[in-house]
Chain A
């Protein structure tokens, strides 16, 4: 299989604290890579480095085999790496359609759009509606509903749909089920499989072992600032993974 996103020997220090110590990560095309690790293991710093929120001190990030650097999440986004943040980064008082296109609005054609910068609101609503129904999210009937009137799971759905609309290469999801109930988590996991089936690889960071083990094709275990190992969830149990994560179990050599 082909590697789409790769981190090589990434290091990041905050004063005396080493958050990342020559960490590696590989994401293949058409897979969901789960990333787990204890608190403080450096997994959020790793993810922040991949989505542009943190600039590593050393090491390199390769996208499609080409070295990339980004000074901000916006730059990462522009080359096709979308992130669904834990706080979702939605504007509650704006509508679903507004939120999906926030920061990359489509303008009208012709003079109205080019000179007067008018938005193509019906066009954006059309695309938003199409995307949401593609992902099976059209229980949200009104695309002009304000996001704050949606439930937690629906909001997550809007954030994922936004990422899927623009994430041409990779989608990173940070704790997508952390704030959700059992039923809504289920919906989001289905959504992850749905997005994966559309050929967009996903990096899933979560504390919820059952969720990671259910949807991930491979599980990256992070420990003490670097990758400890990558395991196949069908060969390892969750307790094995926790044991590896905490250091209670040695890394299997094979």
Chain B
């Protein structure tokens, strides 16, 4: 007779038997983690490693293909110069994508802000510093408007920013009458707008002040995301909005603040962009919206939100730069640069999906 102890009212306490009896029959042979599994869990714990590996491989292979020309200090610093604007836009984009949103209007906001900066200072003769502040405010307001539409009206970020992209672009054309503000005029009336285009030469490597500012923005956002509650909440909202809400995070307020901060960063990007291209052109950076998303995605941030790092985005932007530079030095047509980037995006998202499977 088996002695199953009885509890209150004489009911057998079956579950109490756990631990006393062997549980062998319910356990399966532990699957030995194979190498692929180990890689998967390593990448899961270190999400920045994917873009780092891709960056190293692409730098090495372009070095081999394009030779010493690619590895020159000048060319490598040129790559950083070239990714400055996309890098800043991608930094702002990262914040939004981490909340499981997306912003298709980043480049349009930037051009709008730069038009305000140029118009007020060059054409209306207002003090340049005031014009810059107005430009930053324009970025913040545009961002906040996107955020309010996403939260108050419960519209999907994709649709909101698809709409605002077109609205901002139309406003730019209307304000400027499709006219550029020429570089010479800016230099004469408001040289401060060109500040971030200034270069310094360090042993043959040429850096713009804008490149340093971009690095500064990434450092600032890294601290914000990893060392403050605000940053943790950005991740929590993207991860599981409902859980964040139940944990006491005011998700709507948070989201508006995220879009606003992104807008301010884009406003800073507007100032840098004037230095970078010299003039204020209403049709510049038309591809910047999608390029920024490309950098974020290649940088290993999940489009589903909650996962990713700001450092990854920096590497993502550099990968885009390395690809364009390497392929053009190797003498390939621009169309193949786009082809290669397209492949990279799909591979990056594929890897992200694979890494995410670990939790199941």
A residues apposed to B, CB below 8 Å: 73-74, 77, 83, 85, 87-94, 98, 102-105, 107, 116-119, 121, 146, 148-149, 182-183, 185-186, 210, 213-214, 233-234, 236-238
Q: Find the residue from B13, B23, B242, B248 having the highest chain A CB count within 10 A.
A: B248
B residues apposed to A, CB below 8 Å: 7-9, 11, 13, 15, 18, 23, 44-45, 227-230, 232-233, 235-236, 239-240, 242-244, 246-249, 306-307, 358-359
Q: Is A91 within 8 A of B230, CB to CB? A: no
Q: Find the residue from B230, B240, B306, B307 having the highest chain A CB count within 10 A.
A: B240
Find chain A residues with CB under 8 A from B235 CB: 91, 93-94
Q: Is A92 within 8 A of B359, CB to CB? A: yes
Q: Is A89 within 8 A of B8, CB to CB? A: no
CB < 8 Å neighbour of B244 from A91, A146, A213, A236: A91
Q: Is A74 within 8 A of B227, CB to CB? A: no
| 29 A-B interface contacts by CB (under 8 A) | A87-B243, A88-B243, A89-B240, A89-B242, A90-B240, A91-B244, A93-B239, A94-B232, A94-B239, A102-B233, A102-B247, A102-B248, A103-B248, A116-B228, A117-B228, A117-B230, A119-B227, A119-B229, A148-B359, A183-B18, A185-B15, A186-B18, A210-B11, A213-B7, A213-B8, A214-B13, A234-B9, A237-B9, A238-B9
Find chain B residues with CB under 8 A from A185 CB: 15
Nearest 3 A-B pairs (CB), nearest first? A103-B248, A148-B359, A89-B246
Q: How far is the CA of A6 from the CA of B230 in the complex (A)?
A: 36
Q: A87-B243, A117-B228, A185-B15 are in contact. List 18 more A-B contacts (CB 8 A).
A: A73-B246, A87-B242, A89-B243, A89-B247, A92-B240, A93-B306, A94-B239, A102-B232, A102-B233, A102-B236, A103-B247, A103-B249, A105-B229, A117-B229, A118-B227, A119-B232, A149-B358, A182-B15
Q: How far is the CA of A9 from the CA of B227 in the complex (A)?
A: 47
Find chain A residues with CB under 8 A from B243 CB: 87-91
Residue of A nearest to B13 (CB): A214
Find chain B residues with CB under 8 A from A233 CB: 8
Given A94-B236, A102-B236, A148-B359, verify A183-B228 contact (CB < 8 Å): no
